[in-house]
Amino acid sequence: MTWQNIPGHSNDIEAFYAMLAKDETLLPHGATFLEVGVFFGRSLACIGSQRPDLDLWGIDVWEDGEAEDHYGGPAFKQYAMERGGIFPAFLRSMMEEEPYVLTRTHVLRCPSLLADPLAIAPDVVFIDANHSYDAVKADINHWLHSPRLRIIAGHDYEPVHWGGVVQAVNEAFGGRHEMGPEVGHYTSCWWVRL
């Protein structure tokens, strides 16, 4: 059993999470970690298996149509259909591969904007949900209201496919975001220390 058996395209997320997991100045012991956009759970299981001390939160709408639009399209759609939809596929994947991580995770099936940043009070937020400009901008603005936020980060800062992510991040942080770490000379993970 391992999170690496859960489908997903997250090599650079895994490298970013490994960097966070090793550095308690970035991700303190007992911190609250929130992932917005969980899909099948691969990256959430990755950080959860490395840091059993974290208070984990996963927020996603888990709408079945999103599997067709996600990288891996037909294969991800088939995986979800064989398991009764994206949300059941997430639960089953986590239960089969990282059950301990799942039992420690607060799972919210809703748009991120319906979750209360004051009540959850994450130390780290990772945004990888709807990649449109408006959605990323709204997620960033919403989670910046968390009183303990130390790092806000996200995936797919990549202008060829995800121009909305790039625009929203640039506008929110004026170019003071960091990128990385690289995996094979590539990264699309952006992050800002607050």
Whether 178 contacts 192, CB under 8 Å? yes
Listed residue (192, 162, 194, 165) closest to 179, CA to CA: 192
pLDDT of res. 120: 97
Which amino acid belongs to residue 104?
R
pLDDT tens digits, one per residue of 65-81: 755 555 567 888 889 88
Reply yes or no on domain 3-193 having CATH 3.90.1170.40. Answer: no
User: Model pTM greater than 0.85?
Assistant: yes
Q: What is the DSSP letter of 39?
A: T
85 CB burial (10 A radius; 0-12, 13-18, 19+)? middle
pLDDT tens digits, one per residue of 135-194: 999 999 999 999 999 999 999 999 998 999 999 999 999 999 999 998 888 889 999 999
Tell me whether the omega of the peptide bond preceding residue 88 falls within 30 degrees of 0, making it cis. no
